[in-house]
Chains A and B, each alone.
Chain A
Amino acid sequence: MSVPLTLLGLLEREPSHGYDLKRDYDTYFGRGKPLPYGQVYATLARLARDGKAVAGEAEPGGGPDRKRYAITPAGAAEVEAWLAEPSEPEPHLQTVLFAKVVLALMLGHPAEHYLDVQRGAHLRRMRELTEARRAGPLIDTLLADYGLFHLEADLHWIDTTTARLGELAELVRAS
Protein backbone atom coordinates (compact mmCIF):
# COMPACT_ATOMS: atom_id res chain seq x y z
CA MET A 1 0.00 0.00 0.00
CA SER A 2 1.41 3.42 -0.94
CA VAL A 3 0.32 5.80 1.81
CA PRO A 4 1.55 8.98 0.01
CA LEU A 5 -0.30 8.16 -3.20
CA THR A 6 -3.42 7.10 -1.35
CA LEU A 7 -3.50 10.36 0.64
CA LEU A 8 -2.85 12.29 -2.56
CA GLY A 9 -5.75 10.45 -4.19
CA LEU A 10 -8.03 11.37 -1.29
CA LEU A 11 -6.90 14.98 -1.63
CA GLU A 12 -7.93 14.99 -5.27
CA ARG A 13 -11.58 14.78 -4.23
CA GLU A 14 -11.41 18.09 -2.37
CA PRO A 15 -8.96 20.11 -0.24
CA SER A 16 -8.85 18.52 3.19
CA HIS A 17 -7.37 18.76 6.66
CA GLY A 18 -5.02 16.06 7.84
CA TYR A 19 -7.68 14.92 10.28
CA ASP A 20 -10.20 14.33 7.46
CA LEU A 21 -7.63 12.46 5.41
CA LYS A 22 -6.74 10.18 8.30
CA ARG A 23 -10.42 9.46 9.01
CA ASP A 24 -11.12 8.54 5.36
CA TYR A 25 -7.92 6.54 5.04
CA ASP A 26 -8.77 4.54 8.17
CA THR A 27 -12.36 4.01 6.98
CA TYR A 28 -11.46 2.64 3.55
CA PHE A 29 -7.92 1.35 3.78
CA GLY A 30 -6.89 1.08 7.46
CA ARG A 31 -8.67 -2.20 8.25
CA GLY A 32 -7.67 -2.34 11.88
CA LYS A 33 -4.34 -0.62 11.28
CA PRO A 34 -5.06 3.11 11.65
CA LEU A 35 -2.62 5.57 10.17
CA PRO A 36 -0.70 7.45 12.91
CA TYR A 37 -1.25 11.22 12.91
CA GLY A 38 2.50 11.72 12.76
CA GLN A 39 2.71 9.79 9.51
CA VAL A 40 -0.20 11.77 8.03
CA TYR A 41 1.42 15.15 8.68
CA ALA A 42 4.91 14.01 7.73
CA THR A 43 3.54 12.69 4.45
CA LEU A 44 1.59 15.88 3.77
CA ALA A 45 4.72 17.94 4.45
CA ARG A 46 6.69 15.83 1.98
CA LEU A 47 3.95 16.12 -0.64
CA ALA A 48 3.98 19.92 -0.18
CA ARG A 49 7.79 20.02 -0.36
CA ASP A 50 7.68 18.03 -3.63
CA GLY A 51 5.06 20.33 -5.19
CA LYS A 52 2.31 17.70 -5.21
CA ALA A 53 0.15 19.45 -2.61
CA VAL A 54 -0.07 22.94 -1.18
CA ALA A 55 -0.87 23.87 2.39
CA GLY A 56 -3.28 26.72 3.04
CA GLU A 57 -2.96 29.27 5.80
CA ALA A 58 -3.22 27.94 9.34
CA GLU A 59 -6.82 28.29 10.46
CA PRO A 60 -7.94 29.49 13.89
CA GLY A 61 -7.06 26.95 16.53
CA GLY A 62 -3.44 26.70 15.45
CA GLY A 63 -1.35 23.57 15.09
CA PRO A 64 -0.51 21.63 11.95
CA ASP A 65 -3.91 19.93 11.87
CA ARG A 66 -5.64 23.23 11.12
CA LYS A 67 -4.07 23.58 7.67
CA ARG A 68 -6.14 22.61 4.69
CA TYR A 69 -4.16 20.85 1.95
CA ALA A 70 -5.00 20.91 -1.77
CA ILE A 71 -3.62 18.80 -4.58
CA THR A 72 -1.57 20.51 -7.31
CA PRO A 73 -1.70 19.67 -11.04
CA ALA A 74 1.58 17.77 -10.59
CA GLY A 75 0.03 15.77 -7.74
CA ALA A 76 -3.10 15.02 -9.78
CA ALA A 77 -0.92 13.81 -12.66
CA GLU A 78 0.96 11.54 -10.24
CA VAL A 79 -2.30 10.03 -8.99
CA GLU A 80 -3.60 9.53 -12.53
CA ALA A 81 -0.36 7.81 -13.60
CA TRP A 82 -0.43 5.55 -10.53
CA LEU A 83 -4.05 4.53 -11.06
CA ALA A 84 -3.65 3.94 -14.78
CA GLU A 85 -0.45 1.91 -14.72
CA PRO A 86 -0.52 -1.72 -13.62
CA SER A 87 1.37 -2.65 -10.51
CA GLU A 88 4.19 -5.16 -10.78
CA PRO A 89 2.40 -8.51 -10.88
CA GLU A 90 3.41 -10.31 -7.73
CA PRO A 91 1.57 -12.25 -5.03
CA HIS A 92 -0.45 -10.43 -2.37
CA LEU A 93 -1.19 -7.32 -4.42
CA GLN A 94 -4.78 -7.11 -3.29
CA THR A 95 -4.39 -4.18 -0.90
CA VAL A 96 -2.78 -1.98 -3.56
CA LEU A 97 -5.34 -2.98 -6.17
CA PHE A 98 -8.14 -2.44 -3.70
CA ALA A 99 -6.89 1.07 -2.92
CA LYS A 100 -6.63 1.89 -6.62
CA VAL A 101 -10.14 0.66 -7.37
CA VAL A 102 -11.75 2.55 -4.49
CA LEU A 103 -9.89 5.77 -5.30
CA ALA A 104 -10.69 5.46 -9.02
CA LEU A 105 -14.40 5.15 -8.20
CA MET A 106 -14.23 8.08 -5.75
CA LEU A 107 -12.58 10.25 -8.38
CA GLY A 108 -14.78 9.15 -11.28
CA HIS A 109 -11.86 7.55 -13.12
CA PRO A 110 -12.34 4.46 -15.32
CA ALA A 111 -11.83 1.70 -12.71
CA GLU A 112 -12.86 -1.07 -15.12
CA HIS A 113 -10.19 0.01 -17.59
CA TYR A 114 -7.55 0.08 -14.85
CA LEU A 115 -8.54 -3.46 -13.83
CA ASP A 116 -8.25 -4.59 -17.46
CA VAL A 117 -4.76 -3.06 -17.66
CA GLN A 118 -3.80 -4.92 -14.48
CA ARG A 119 -5.33 -8.12 -15.88
CA GLY A 120 -3.14 -7.69 -18.97
CA ALA A 121 -0.01 -7.22 -16.85
CA HIS A 122 -0.84 -10.31 -14.79
CA LEU A 123 -1.41 -12.41 -17.89
CA ARG A 124 1.86 -11.21 -19.38
CA ARG A 125 3.70 -12.36 -16.25
CA MET A 126 1.78 -15.66 -16.32
CA ARG A 127 2.89 -16.17 -19.95
CA GLU A 128 6.52 -15.67 -18.88
CA LEU A 129 6.16 -18.14 -16.01
CA THR A 130 4.35 -20.65 -18.23
CA GLU A 131 7.22 -20.50 -20.70
CA ALA A 132 9.76 -20.85 -17.86
CA ARG A 133 8.03 -23.92 -16.45
CA ARG A 134 7.78 -25.51 -19.89
CA ALA A 135 11.42 -25.03 -20.77
CA GLY A 136 13.03 -25.51 -17.39
CA PRO A 137 13.84 -28.34 -14.97
CA LEU A 138 11.40 -29.52 -12.30
CA ILE A 139 12.68 -27.02 -9.72
CA ASP A 140 11.90 -24.14 -12.11
CA THR A 141 8.51 -25.70 -12.81
CA LEU A 142 7.62 -25.82 -9.12
CA LEU A 143 8.79 -22.24 -8.52
CA ALA A 144 6.88 -21.02 -11.57
CA ASP A 145 3.80 -22.92 -10.35
CA TYR A 146 3.96 -21.07 -7.04
CA GLY A 147 3.88 -17.73 -8.86
CA LEU A 148 1.22 -18.88 -11.31
CA PHE A 149 -1.20 -20.03 -8.60
CA HIS A 150 -0.85 -16.75 -6.69
CA LEU A 151 -1.26 -14.63 -9.81
CA GLU A 152 -4.29 -16.72 -10.70
CA ALA A 153 -5.78 -15.92 -7.28
CA ASP A 154 -5.20 -12.20 -7.94
CA LEU A 155 -6.96 -12.58 -11.29
CA HIS A 156 -9.96 -14.20 -9.60
CA TRP A 157 -10.11 -11.17 -7.31
CA ILE A 158 -9.85 -8.82 -10.32
CA ASP A 159 -12.66 -10.69 -12.12
CA THR A 160 -14.92 -10.67 -9.08
CA THR A 161 -14.23 -6.99 -8.38
CA THR A 162 -14.93 -6.12 -12.03
CA ALA A 163 -18.28 -7.87 -11.70
CA ARG A 164 -19.04 -5.90 -8.51
CA LEU A 165 -17.85 -2.47 -9.65
CA GLY A 166 -21.37 -1.04 -9.97
CA GLU A 167 -22.24 -2.06 -6.42
CA LEU A 168 -18.92 -0.77 -5.06
CA ALA A 169 -19.29 2.55 -6.90
CA GLU A 170 -22.69 3.10 -5.25
CA LEU A 171 -21.20 2.35 -1.83
CA VAL A 172 -18.22 4.66 -2.28
CA ARG A 173 -20.28 7.53 -3.68
CA ALA A 174 -22.92 7.23 -0.96
CA SER A 175 -20.40 7.50 1.89
Chain B
Amino acid sequence: MSSPLIWARGVVKSFGQTPALRGADVQVTAGEILAVMGPSGSGKSTLLHCLAGIFPPDEGEISFDGQRLDQMDETRRTELRRTAFGFVFQFGQLVPELTAADNVALPLLLGRVRRKAAYQAAGQWLARLGLEDKGDRRTGELSGGEAQRVAVARALAVGPRVLFADEPTGSLDSLTGEKVMDLLTGLAREQGVTMVLVTHDARVAAYADRQVVVRDGRVTALETSGTHGGLR
Protein backbone atom coordinates (compact mmCIF):
# COMPACT_ATOMS: atom_id res chain seq x y z
CA MET B 1 0.00 0.00 0.00
CA SER B 2 1.38 3.43 -0.89
CA SER B 3 1.96 6.02 1.83
CA PRO B 4 -1.21 7.73 2.99
CA LEU B 5 -2.12 11.21 1.81
CA ILE B 6 -3.95 11.85 5.07
CA TRP B 7 -3.40 10.16 8.39
CA ALA B 8 -4.55 10.69 11.95
CA ARG B 9 -3.13 9.08 15.06
CA GLY B 10 -4.62 9.08 18.54
CA VAL B 11 -6.96 11.97 17.82
CA VAL B 12 -8.92 13.13 20.84
CA LYS B 13 -11.60 15.82 20.59
CA SER B 14 -14.15 16.90 23.17
CA PHE B 15 -16.83 19.53 23.20
CA GLY B 16 -16.98 20.80 26.76
CA GLN B 17 -17.30 17.71 28.93
CA THR B 18 -18.54 15.58 26.05
CA PRO B 19 -15.90 13.46 24.34
CA ALA B 20 -16.44 12.99 20.59
CA LEU B 21 -13.18 11.28 19.61
CA ARG B 22 -11.22 9.15 22.08
CA GLY B 23 -8.08 8.19 20.22
CA ALA B 24 -9.08 7.86 16.57
CA ASP B 25 -6.59 6.42 14.06
CA VAL B 26 -7.22 6.46 10.33
CA GLN B 27 -5.37 6.82 7.06
CA VAL B 28 -6.43 7.60 3.53
CA THR B 29 -4.38 6.79 0.44
CA ALA B 30 -4.20 9.26 -2.47
CA GLY B 31 -7.05 8.64 -4.91
CA GLU B 32 -8.95 6.46 -2.48
CA ILE B 33 -12.60 6.91 -1.54
CA LEU B 34 -12.98 6.08 2.14
CA ALA B 35 -16.40 5.76 3.74
CA VAL B 36 -16.61 6.59 7.43
CA MET B 37 -19.67 4.91 8.91
CA GLY B 38 -21.13 4.78 12.38
CA PRO B 39 -24.25 5.41 14.41
CA SER B 40 -25.48 8.89 15.31
CA GLY B 41 -23.21 10.56 17.84
CA SER B 42 -20.35 8.13 17.25
CA GLY B 43 -17.94 10.92 16.26
CA LYS B 44 -17.78 10.33 12.50
CA SER B 45 -18.56 13.94 11.53
CA THR B 46 -16.14 15.24 14.15
CA LEU B 47 -13.47 13.02 12.62
CA LEU B 48 -14.17 14.53 9.17
CA HIS B 49 -13.96 18.05 10.60
CA CYS B 50 -10.62 17.23 12.27
CA LEU B 51 -9.17 15.62 9.11
CA ALA B 52 -10.25 18.69 7.12
CA GLY B 53 -8.59 21.09 9.57
CA ILE B 54 -11.89 22.65 10.62
CA PHE B 55 -11.58 21.46 14.23
CA PRO B 56 -8.11 21.36 15.80
CA PRO B 57 -7.78 18.16 17.85
CA ASP B 58 -7.29 18.35 21.62
CA GLU B 59 -4.67 15.60 21.36
CA GLY B 60 -3.15 13.48 18.61
CA GLU B 61 -1.58 14.07 15.23
CA ILE B 62 -3.16 14.77 11.83
CA SER B 63 -1.16 14.99 8.63
CA PHE B 64 -2.07 15.98 5.08
CA ASP B 65 0.56 15.46 2.38
CA GLY B 66 3.36 15.59 4.94
CA GLN B 67 2.06 18.73 6.65
CA ARG B 68 0.89 18.52 10.26
CA LEU B 69 -2.57 20.04 10.45
CA ASP B 70 -2.60 19.81 14.24
CA GLN B 71 0.43 22.14 14.36
CA MET B 72 -0.86 24.70 11.83
CA ASP B 73 -2.40 28.01 12.87
CA GLU B 74 -5.93 28.85 11.78
CA THR B 75 -4.76 31.09 8.91
CA ARG B 76 -2.78 28.29 7.28
CA ARG B 77 -5.55 25.76 7.81
CA THR B 78 -8.05 28.15 6.23
CA GLU B 79 -5.77 28.58 3.24
CA LEU B 80 -5.40 24.82 2.90
CA ARG B 81 -9.17 24.31 3.08
CA ARG B 82 -9.69 26.91 0.37
CA THR B 83 -7.03 25.61 -2.02
CA ALA B 84 -6.71 21.86 -1.46
CA PHE B 85 -10.02 20.71 -0.01
CA GLY B 86 -13.58 20.65 -1.29
CA PHE B 87 -16.69 20.14 0.82
CA VAL B 88 -20.15 18.72 0.25
CA PHE B 89 -22.50 18.77 3.22
CA GLN B 90 -25.96 17.32 3.76
CA PHE B 91 -27.83 20.51 3.00
CA GLY B 92 -25.43 21.87 0.40
CA GLN B 93 -24.72 25.05 2.31
CA LEU B 94 -25.22 27.10 -0.82
CA VAL B 95 -26.12 30.80 -0.74
CA PRO B 96 -29.82 30.63 -1.67
CA GLU B 97 -30.02 34.24 -2.91
CA LEU B 98 -27.23 33.67 -5.44
CA THR B 99 -27.56 31.80 -8.72
CA ALA B 100 -26.11 28.34 -9.27
CA ALA B 101 -23.32 29.85 -11.37
CA ASP B 102 -22.57 32.43 -8.66
CA ASN B 103 -22.33 29.69 -6.03
CA VAL B 104 -19.91 27.61 -8.09
CA ALA B 105 -17.82 30.62 -9.12
CA LEU B 106 -17.63 32.02 -5.58
CA PRO B 107 -14.74 29.91 -4.21
CA LEU B 108 -12.82 30.53 -7.44
CA LEU B 109 -13.31 34.30 -7.08
CA LEU B 110 -12.17 34.07 -3.47
CA GLY B 111 -9.10 32.30 -4.79
CA ARG B 112 -8.48 35.30 -7.06
CA VAL B 113 -9.41 33.63 -10.30
CA ARG B 114 -10.51 36.29 -12.81
CA ARG B 115 -14.27 36.75 -13.04
CA LYS B 116 -14.60 35.63 -16.65
CA ALA B 117 -12.53 32.49 -16.07
CA ALA B 118 -14.37 31.70 -12.84
CA TYR B 119 -17.79 31.87 -14.52
CA GLN B 120 -16.51 29.90 -17.51
CA ALA B 121 -15.31 27.15 -15.18
CA ALA B 122 -18.60 27.29 -13.25
CA GLY B 123 -20.54 26.82 -16.47
CA GLN B 124 -18.40 23.84 -17.45
CA TRP B 125 -18.83 22.17 -14.07
CA LEU B 126 -22.57 22.76 -14.02
CA ALA B 127 -22.75 21.15 -17.47
CA ARG B 128 -20.78 18.13 -16.21
CA LEU B 129 -23.45 17.71 -13.57
CA GLY B 130 -26.33 18.03 -16.02
CA LEU B 131 -27.24 21.55 -14.90
CA GLU B 132 -26.27 23.53 -17.98
CA ASP B 133 -29.68 25.20 -18.11
CA LYS B 134 -29.79 26.04 -14.40
CA GLY B 135 -26.83 28.42 -14.11
CA ASP B 136 -28.92 31.56 -13.78
CA ARG B 137 -31.43 30.08 -11.32
CA ARG B 138 -31.22 31.00 -7.65
CA THR B 139 -30.24 27.89 -5.72
CA GLY B 140 -33.13 28.47 -3.31
CA GLU B 141 -35.45 27.73 -6.24
CA LEU B 142 -33.80 24.43 -7.19
CA SER B 143 -34.91 20.96 -6.13
CA GLY B 144 -32.91 19.19 -3.42
CA GLY B 145 -31.12 16.98 -5.95
CA GLU B 146 -30.29 19.90 -8.22
CA ALA B 147 -28.99 21.97 -5.31
CA GLN B 148 -26.80 19.09 -4.16
CA ARG B 149 -25.38 18.74 -7.67
CA VAL B 150 -24.53 22.47 -7.55
CA ALA B 151 -22.75 21.78 -4.26
CA VAL B 152 -20.75 18.99 -5.94
CA ALA B 153 -19.86 21.33 -8.82
CA ARG B 154 -18.76 24.01 -6.36
CA ALA B 155 -16.61 21.53 -4.42
CA LEU B 156 -14.89 20.18 -7.54
CA ALA B 157 -14.46 23.50 -9.36
CA VAL B 158 -11.54 24.55 -7.17
CA GLY B 159 -9.62 21.42 -8.22
CA PRO B 160 -9.33 19.97 -4.71
CA ARG B 161 -6.95 17.18 -3.80
CA VAL B 162 -9.39 15.93 -1.18
CA LEU B 163 -13.16 16.06 -1.14
CA PHE B 164 -14.86 15.85 2.23
CA ALA B 165 -18.50 14.79 1.99
CA ASP B 166 -20.68 14.64 5.11
CA GLU B 167 -23.97 12.79 4.51
CA PRO B 168 -24.12 14.18 0.95
CA THR B 169 -27.40 12.41 0.18
CA GLY B 170 -28.92 12.65 3.65
CA SER B 171 -31.65 15.06 2.58
CA LEU B 172 -32.46 13.37 -0.75
CA ASP B 173 -34.80 10.56 -1.74
CA SER B 174 -33.27 7.21 -2.71
CA LEU B 175 -33.20 7.61 -6.51
CA THR B 176 -31.98 11.23 -6.41
CA GLY B 177 -29.35 10.24 -3.87
CA GLU B 178 -28.10 7.51 -6.18
CA LYS B 179 -27.75 9.98 -9.05
CA VAL B 180 -25.78 12.37 -6.84
CA MET B 181 -23.52 9.55 -5.63
CA ASP B 182 -22.96 8.29 -9.19
CA LEU B 183 -21.86 11.78 -10.20
CA LEU B 184 -19.89 12.54 -7.05
CA THR B 185 -17.85 9.34 -7.02
CA GLY B 186 -17.59 9.11 -10.81
CA LEU B 187 -16.14 12.59 -11.10
CA ALA B 188 -13.88 12.15 -8.06
CA ARG B 189 -12.38 9.01 -9.61
CA GLU B 190 -12.04 10.66 -13.00
CA GLN B 191 -10.27 13.67 -11.46
CA GLY B 192 -8.14 11.52 -9.15
CA VAL B 193 -9.56 13.28 -6.10
CA THR B 194 -9.25 11.54 -2.75
CA MET B 195 -12.52 11.44 -0.85
CA VAL B 196 -13.56 11.06 2.76
CA LEU B 197 -17.25 10.23 2.78
CA VAL B 198 -19.15 10.29 6.07
CA THR B 199 -22.44 8.42 5.98
CA HIS B 200 -24.72 6.30 8.12
CA ASP B 201 -26.18 4.80 4.93
CA ALA B 202 -24.67 1.46 3.81
CA ARG B 203 -25.85 1.96 0.22
CA VAL B 204 -23.91 5.24 0.06
CA ALA B 205 -20.88 3.67 1.76
CA ALA B 206 -20.91 0.94 -0.92
CA TYR B 207 -19.72 3.52 -3.45
CA ALA B 208 -16.42 3.78 -1.55
CA ASP B 209 -13.28 1.68 -2.01
CA ARG B 210 -13.00 1.00 1.71
CA GLN B 211 -15.11 1.42 4.81
CA VAL B 212 -14.32 2.10 8.45
CA VAL B 213 -16.69 2.35 11.39
CA VAL B 214 -16.47 4.97 14.14
CA ARG B 215 -17.79 3.65 17.41
CA ASP B 216 -17.50 5.49 20.71
CA GLY B 217 -14.96 7.87 19.24
CA ARG B 218 -12.60 5.21 17.88
CA VAL B 219 -12.14 3.89 14.37
CA THR B 220 -12.52 0.21 13.47
CA ALA B 221 -11.33 -0.92 10.05
CA LEU B 222 -13.66 -3.45 8.46
CA GLU B 223 -12.16 -6.69 7.24
CA THR B 224 -13.27 -8.52 4.15
CA SER B 225 -12.44 -12.18 3.62
CA GLY B 226 -13.64 -15.30 1.88
CA THR B 227 -16.19 -17.76 3.12
CA HIS B 228 -15.74 -20.83 5.24
CA GLY B 229 -15.85 -24.08 3.28
CA GLY B 230 -16.01 -26.58 6.12
CA LEU B 231 -18.90 -28.23 7.94
CA ARG B 232 -22.24 -26.67 6.98
Q: Which residues of A contact B (CB under 8 A)?
A: 2, 4-5, 8, 50, 52, 78, 81-82, 85-88, 116-117, 119-124, 126-127, 129-130, 134, 148, 151-152, 155, 159, 163
Contact = CB atoms under 8 A, between A and B. Distances in A.
B97 interface: no
B223 A116 contact: yes
Contacts of A81: 228, 230
Interface stretch (B24-32, B50-58, B119-127, B198-206): B198-206
B231 A78 contact: yes
A2 B211 contact: no
By size class, the interface of chain B is 20 to 34
Given A126-B203, A151-B202, A163 B231 contact: no
Contacts, number: 73
Contacts of A117: 222-223, 225
- Centre residue among A86, A87, A121, A123 by max chain B CB count within 10 A: A123
| Cβ-closest 4 pairs across A and B | A120-B222, A126-B206, A85-B228, A124-B224
Interface in B185-232: 186, 202-203, 205-209, 211, 213, 220, 222-228, 230-232
B208 to A, nearest CB: 8
Nearest to B38: A159
Contacts of A4: 231-232
